[in-house]
Amino acid sequence: MIDIKGLKVHLGEFRLKDIDLSIDEGEFFVLMGPTGAGKTVLLEAIAGLVPILGGTISISGRDATRLAPEQRGVGIMYQDYALFPHLTVTRNITYGLRYQKRKGTSEKLFRQLVDDLGIGHLLHRYPETLSGGELQRVALARALMVEPRVILLDEPLSALDQNFREEIRLLLKQIHRGSRITFFMVTHDFSEALTLATKAAIMNSGAIVQTGTIRDIFQKPSSSFVANFVGMKNVFPTEFNGSTAVVDTLAIEVSPPHANSTGHIAIRPEDIVISLKPLESSMRNSFSGTVSSIIDLGFLYEVHVHVQSVLFKSLVTKGSAIDLGLDIGMDVQISFKSSAVHIF
């Protein structure tokens, strides 16, 4: 569907270098990365809105590298919605219609989009009078109205408050399911990616650092950057010795054994279990340490446990924290399976 090969872009302070990406038809693809990684620039490059220094982009098997934006069939939706302020909601949504070849079905599609997105009562208003969630829906309707093959979403949820965010997220998922449009969404929020995406890529300082299914990225990060980014809070440089990883002075069991002699290991904080006494279980790794801090995350506590000089971060529900009577300075036991240790 979208094939990007060796893409190179210089735009102001942004440098995209040798971007290779391949996105299948109908996929919900998520591009993640910290602020300033160049995600929006990549998005605009796919839409044909920034000059390209090298490489190729093909869309639906057609070379689109030098194609004008209006000839690509690629819709774009920005974080700030970019609704046309001098046009009513209706005229915003129908803006692109006159450039479409297929006619006739537009009235039906318009009705359907307006119904699906619940914006029937807004049609005669101007964008400046709408709330964030409403702007979002109108922008989405405008982009879908021209029936693009690809829709590019630039952090569509980040400007919304929490309530709307959930709603729009569900909406995006529904629209994606009910259409054959390929979605390409940029976000810096990993949890958005988890709920929406089928495949994803992680970007850092202008380069793609990992791409694959969302599950793979989540469970098998290929570098400490990705591990940190996807919420693997425990990332340690390691020396390997067969099936043992040595972190500082701790010997951690891993499986399967690792071939290289040095590398990193990563453990998700929710995979580390805290108990008062050593557990009778199949968990191969068990260490005793001291609670050094407890951070309130709402429903969960992030508990920091020092085992000798190594700091482990674990997530504990509030209920079990109270049951255990966790407090700073307390001696506890941490345990995790050898299969919970990710090696890269």
Partner 1 sequence: MVRKGPFYWVSISCGIMVLVFILLPLVELLTAPSGAMLKETLKDRNVIRSIWLSIYTAMSAAGISFIVGTPLAYVLARSQFRGKHFIESIIDLPIVIPHPVVGIAILSVAGKNHWLGHFMQEIGIRIMGSTTGIITVLTFVGMPFYINALKSGFESISPRLENVSRSLGASMWSTFIRITFPLAWRSVLVGLIMCCARSISEFGAVVVVAYHPMIAPVLIYERYEGYGLQYSQPVAVWLVLVCLSLFLALRVLALPQKKAT
Positions that interact with partner 1 (CB under 8 A): 44, 47-49, 68-70, 72, 74-78, 80, 82, 84-86, 95-96, 99-100, 125-126, 128-129, 142-143, 146, 148
Least CB distance from residue 223 to partner 1, whole Å? 33
Distance between CA atoms of 316 and 293, rounded to whole angstroms?
A: 13
User: Cβ(36)–Cβ(193) under 8 Å?
Assistant: no
Least CB distance from residue 130 to partner 1, whole Å? 10
In the block, tokens 């692109």 appear at: 96
Backbone angles phi, psi at 205, to 5 degrees: 30, 60
The residue among 58 and 338 lying less far from partner 1, judged by its C-beta, is 58
Least CB distance from residue 177 to partner 1, whole Å? 23
User: Cβ(30)–Cβ(176) under 8 Å?
Assistant: no
Least CB distance from residue 76 to partner 1, whole Å? 4
Q: Which of 125, 110, 113 is nearest to 175 (CA)?
A: 113
* Contacts of 173 by beta carbon, 8 Å cutoff, 6+ apart: 28, 195, 196
Q: Is the dihedral of CA 41, 46, 52, 57 positive or negative?
A: positive
The residue among 45 and 265 lying less far from partner 1, judged by its C-beta, is 45
Least CB distance from residue 86 to partner 1, whole Å? 5
Residues 273, 275, 278, 280, Cα dihedral to 10°: -70
